[in-house]
Chains A and B, each alone.
Chain A
Amino acid sequence: MTAAFPAMHAAEACVVEMPEPDDFEFWRDQARLLVQGGVRPDEVVWTEPGGFESLFGHGGRPVPAPGAAAPVVRASRPFVELARSAVCHSDPGRFDLLYRLLWRLQANPRIMEDGADGDVRRIDALARAVRRDIHKMRAFVRFRRVEGDGGAERFVAWFEPEHHILRANGGFFVRRFANMAWSILTPKGSLHWDGETLAEGPPAERSDAPAGDPMEDFWRKYYASIFNPARLKVGAMLKEMPRKYWKNMPEAALIPGLVAGAQGREAAMVAAGKGYEEERLKSLSAIEKAIHQCRRCPIGELENQAVMGEGPKHAALMVVGEQPGDQEDLAGKPFVGPAGQLLDSYLVEAGIDRGQVYVTNAVKHFKYVQRGKRRLHQSPTAKEIDICRWWLDGERELVQPKLVLALGASAARGLLGKTVSITRARGEAHRLEDGSELWITAHPSYLLRLRDEARVEQERLFRADLAAVAERLAELAG
């Protein structure tokens, strides 16, 4: 215990009473006099208001008066910078430490460079703790708006700093909130700014501060929404925002709930996307088997059967339609209904042998609504096409056509991943990722729906597109 009472057995010790726990200028002036008077570090007792030593009276000899030929006291810039921060620390031994280092600096002016020295490490640690506390106060102070007399607004915060940093932080809040009236209340003192002057006040209590602010609902909503439950890292949060700060942060009450709910939310998202992570199938027959079981989108749940592509395994040309229609669904084969027959006639005209073509669809099941006895065709949504693209990509990987012809916008989306305008995209080659060429034209069922002049015009374009494909196919073969 004796170490805690240096004043008791060192009767001739100098006792220095710090008027404020963070008054660096006062400490510096006193320390300079002590060094000049040759007072060794173990002969000084520093006391601060409310500190332990101050309870034991104020004996001891006075700080020496400045002598006429007093030596110059040296302090390096790194020391002064660290000392200015470290003096704000709540460690009662900080004044001793600072004085001991100042004393040692007189003999070794570059001692601060020696990071392996115990005293240097200690002052560095104190200064860092204080700077962190200063930084955390700037970060975690939460103002609450109150209306004063005559409707004037004031922003008031309650904060509990670990060290004596309130005064050191005043400047920051003035620079930032110069035109707001604000108060920061702490158990160690308070600051009040009225737009012109900064006033210091006595220690405060939590109950002196307002209890809430309607804007905090917005802030909490923001906090909860910006959090990504799929990336839970509680340790990283705690490292920077330790629990000791939580009680004065309105958003912190949400944390336990957000953490607890995160795994469930992530699991739900993963489950919703399940099935996308499997390996690509290695044969067309395996794909055919798999699409019959596919329920990745609601179309597979209807009364229908999957319709697999058809044609030579290494066809140079792949023709992709939208989805099987009523007749295709019943037959289990692509392009056998009216649109298929129309397609066949144009292929013949263009000199393309359908027997040499791999014919398939962007969507493997027939999407329809029941109207009485009839099943009415429904266009697949972009999302449904995207889901089914997995199968079409699988077919393309295995067949490896040199040229793909997409019939209609749905087919084009299944190949490009985006929705294009047929009018703009037709008549030219597009490059697909695997290096093959994509040509885009209308769907033959579109021609079937047209009448008169419009039909004549569209048939002309369709014929031209197929002719261009035939020509390009011949070039690629050659």
Chain B
Amino acid sequence: MEQMAQPSLLEKLEILADAAKYDASCASSGTAKRSSSAGGKGIGSTEGMGICHAYAPDGRCISLLKVLLTNHCVFDCHYCINRKSSNVRRARFTPQEVADLTLSFYRRNYIEGLFLSSGIVKSPDHTMEQLIEVARILREEHDFRGYIHLKTIPEADAELVHQAGLYADRVSINVELPTVAGLTRLAPDKNAGRIEGAMGGLKTAISEGADATKRFKHAPKFAPAGQSTQMIVGADAATDADIVGKASQLYGRFKLRRVYYSAFSPIPDASAVLPLKRPPLIREHRLYQSDWLMRFYGYAPGEVADAAGADGMLPLDIDPKLAWALRFRERFPVDVNRAPREMLLRVPGLGVRAVDRILASRRHRTLRLEDVGRLTVSVAKMRPFIVTADWRPVTLTDRADLRAMLAPKATQLELFAA
């Protein structure tokens, strides 16, 4: 069937990086601290904070060499550019080629490490073995101490998945779609139960590994940067409230480090089974903001859902924190000189850093509006929601047109819109 000549290594890189770009994650943070030592064989280090070595014009961080081992795939997931029925050019790397590319890039300081995923070839087990082989070459033959993220295949044997965790800093399995109905329709070869079962298995292995490392100094580390997942937004009919609910459930049940959202975006040779309109990129942004509210600002999932409209969708023109504040105006204004941390965190425009600065500063002075302005980026947006020594919003929070006053101008929004 294949009439084209074997692609060169450069062409393979082009095909298999292009095929990998729909995975949003490129994080290289939060793993165990490691460094290479003089005179030894090893190369590489990880220091907790990840490094973005470049940014693409899509605004995304390039931290890792993110490629597929192959984009041949026996699965036929409709949202995926690599699905069996898609008419894209196919290629496959050998494990050695991926390991060599990783090291060549790493030595030139282009990357923090490798994020390796793959289409399913022959069988899930065979594919998983190939992924593990790349990690093995890097870790064992080259004593590579940089970051490795392996996408694991839920259909593969649990023992293989476990082996992946022993080499990798992070492992991930994509839940793909927020609802089971969506998965059945758009990823007919995948099975929600199987995916969640595998995530549960990883959770257990990660927490057992962390526990063993605490008690035995030389216990092998299992995925010290934990596990993450990705959900595609806008390819099925799930609302923002559905997605937020699903995400919080995943965080809770599987102790995920991150849930990534990927707004379904046009792909070459799209499947015809995706009849829905493509979601605006700003929707993905609003979901990340709501994710942030749950993880760092103390909002319960139900509270984020309250910020959504009756249709379960978060407003696109304002951020979910402002939307929540506008809905629960009776909770405001908040006195920045007296309010507890939890309430300060609810003030639109006040971030975690600014709140901590306010808490420290107010021990030294009674804060005026001007002082708050110095501690934050902009005081304009938060004025209706705060009380300071010299400022009290009188009727502002009751004004019907408050939302219109605070929402960014429509022209600004279009820069983000699809």
Q: Does B110 interact with chain A (Cβ within 8 Å)?
A: yes
Please tell me if the beta carbons of B45 and A227 are within 8 angstroms of each other in the complex: no
A121–B87 Cα distance when bound, in Å, is 57
The A-contacting residues of B in range 10-31, CB under 8 angstroms, are 10, 13-15, 17-18, 20-22
Q: Does B374 interact with chain A (Cβ within 8 Å)?
A: yes
Q: Which of A139, A231, A255, A387 contacts B265 (CB 8 A)?
A: A231
Given A177-B107, A230-B266, check contact A240 B361 (CB 8 Å): no
Of all chain B residues, the one with the shortest Cβ separation from A245 is: B54
Please tell me if the beta carbons of A219 and B105 are within 8 angstroms of each other in the complex: yes
Of all chain B residues, the one with the shortest Cβ separation from A259 is: B57
Stretch at the interface among B269-277, B341-349, B379-387: B269-277
Q: Does A276 interact with chain B (Cβ within 8 Å)?
A: yes
Stretch at the interface among A7-15, A68-76, A142-150: A142-150
Binary CB contact string for chain A from 179 to 191 against chain B (1 if under 8 A, 0 otherwise) = 1100000000000
Given A176-B36, A231-B265, A272-B269, check contact A226 B56 (CB 8 Å): yes
Chain B interface residue number, banded: 35 or more
Please give, as numbers and ranges, the residues of chain A lying within 8 Å of B214 by CB-CB distance: none
Please tell me if the beta carbons of A234 and B57 are within 8 angstroms of each other in the complex: yes
A284–B43 Cα distance when bound, in Å, is 66
Given A143-B109, A266-B266, A277-B277, check contact A114 B51 (CB 8 Å): no
The A-contacting residues of B in range 56-114, CB under 8 angstroms, are 56-62, 65-66, 76, 78, 84-85, 87, 101, 104-105, 107-110
Please tell me if the beta carbons of A277 and B275 are within 8 angstroms of each other in the complex: yes
Please tell me if the beta carbons of B268 and A269 are within 8 angstroms of each other in the complex: yes
19 CB-based A-B contacts, threshold 8 Å: A115-B361, A115-B375, A139-B53, A175-B36, A176-B44, A178-B36, A195-B39, A196-B38, A213-B108, A217-B10, A225-B15, A226-B56, A226-B66, A228-B22, A228-B60, A236-B58, A240-B61, A382-B85, A389-B273
A228–B374 Cα distance when bound, in Å, is 38
Select the residue from B9, B10, B57 with max chain A CB neighbours within 10 A.
B57
Please give, as numbers and ranges, the residues of chain B lying within 8 Å of A273 by CB-CB distance: 266, 270, 274
A215–B13 Cα distance when bound, in Å, is 12
Please tell me if the beta carbons of A417 and B59 are within 8 angstroms of each other in the complex: no
Please give, as numbers and ranges, the residues of chain B lying within 8 Å of A180 by CB-CB distance: 43, 107
Please tell me if the beta carbons of A240 and B85 are within 8 angstroms of each other in the complex: no
Given A175-B45, A386-B78, check contact A218 B10 (CB 8 Å): yes
Please give, as numbers and ranges, the residues of chain A lying within 8 Å of B37 by CB-CB distance: 178
Q: Which 7 A-B pairs have the closest CB atoms?
A: A236-B59, A233-B59, A418-B188, A387-B272, A175-B35, A225-B17, A115-B357
B298 to chain A, nearest CB (A): 22
Q: Which of B22, B41, B367 contacts A116 (CB 8 A)?
A: B367
A251–B76 Cα distance when bound, in Å, is 34
A433–B184 Cα distance when bound, in Å, is 8
B287 to chain A, nearest CB (A): 15
Please give, as numbers and ranges, the residues of chain B lying within 8 Å of A115 by CB-CB distance: 357-358, 360-361, 374-375
A144–B107 Cα distance when bound, in Å, is 9
The A-contacting residues of B in range 208-266, CB under 8 angstroms, are 263, 265-266
Q: Does B185 interact with chain A (Cβ within 8 Å)?
A: yes
A395 to chain B, nearest CB (A): 14
Given A121-B374, A215-B104, A276-B274, check contact A433 B42 (CB 8 Å): no
Q: Which of B17, B40, B55, B184 contacts A179 (CB 8 A)?
A: B40
Please tell me if the beta carbons of B107 and A386 are within 8 angstroms of each other in the complex: no
Please give, as numbers and ranges, the residues of chain B lying within 8 Å of A219 by CB-CB distance: 105, 108, 110
Please give, as numbers and ranges, the residues of chain B lying within 8 Å of A287 by CB-CB distance: none
Of all chain A residues, the one with the shortest Cβ separation from B43 is: A179
Q: Does B186 interact with chain A (Cβ within 8 Å)?
A: yes
Q: Which of B109, B272, B281 contacts A296 (CB 8 A)?
A: B272
Q: Which of A177, A221, A389 contacts B43 (CB 8 A)?
A: A177
Please give, as numbers and ranges, the residues of chain A lying within 8 Å of B415 by CB-CB distance: 235
Q: Does B122 interact with chain A (Cβ within 8 Å)?
A: no
Please give, as numbers and ranges, the residues of chain B lying within 8 Å of A240 by CB-CB distance: 52, 55, 61
Q: Does B409 interact with chain A (Cβ within 8 Å)?
A: no
A280–B364 Cα distance when bound, in Å, is 64
Please tell me if the beta carbons of A155 and B107 are within 8 angstroms of each other in the complex: yes
Q: Does B371 interact with chain A (Cβ within 8 Å)?
A: yes
Please tell me if the beta carbons of B274 and A232 are within 8 angstroms of each other in the complex: no
Given A143-B109, A417-B185, check contact A179 B38 (CB 8 Å): yes
Please tell me if the beta carbons of A138 and B184 are within 8 angstroms of each other in the complex: no
Of all chain A residues, the one with the shortest Cβ separation from B353 is: A115
Please tell me if the beta carbons of B57 and A230 are within 8 angstroms of each other in the complex: no
Given A113-B361, A176-B36, A237-B57, check contact A223 B104 (CB 8 Å): no
A310 to chain B, nearest CB (A): 24
Please tell me if the beta carbons of B58 and A231 are within 8 angstroms of each other in the complex: yes
The A-contacting residues of B in range 345-402, CB under 8 angstroms, are 357-358, 360-361, 363-365, 367, 371, 374-375
Q: Does A270 interact with chain B (Cβ within 8 Å)?
A: yes
Select the residue from A172, A180, A225 with max chain B CB neighbours within 10 A.
A225
A26–B13 Cα distance when bound, in Å, is 50
Q: Which of B54, B84, B107, B361 contacts A145 (CB 8 A)?
A: B107
Binary CB contact string for chain A from 343 to 373 against chain B (1 if under 8 A, 0 otherwise) = 0000000000000000000000000000000
A155–B271 Cα distance when bound, in Å, is 46
Select the residue from A176, A195, A229, A387 with max chain B CB neighbours within 10 A.
A176
Given A241-B54, A273-B266, A417-B188, check contact A113 B85 (CB 8 Å): no
Please tell me if the beta carbons of A155 and B108 are within 8 angstroms of each other in the complex: yes
Q: Does B267 interact with chain A (Cβ within 8 Å)?
A: yes
Q: Does B181 interact with chain A (Cβ within 8 Å)?
A: yes
Of all chain B residues, the one with the shortest Cβ separation from A255 is: B57
B368 to chain A, nearest CB (A): 9
Please tell me if the beta carbons of B21 and A269 are within 8 angstroms of each other in the complex: no
Given A113-B361, A114-B360, A227-B58, check contact A417 B273 (CB 8 Å): yes
A138–B45 Cα distance when bound, in Å, is 12
Please give, as numbers and ranges, the residues of chain A lying within 8 Å of B266 by CB-CB distance: 230, 266, 269-270, 273
A254 to chain B, nearest CB (A): 9
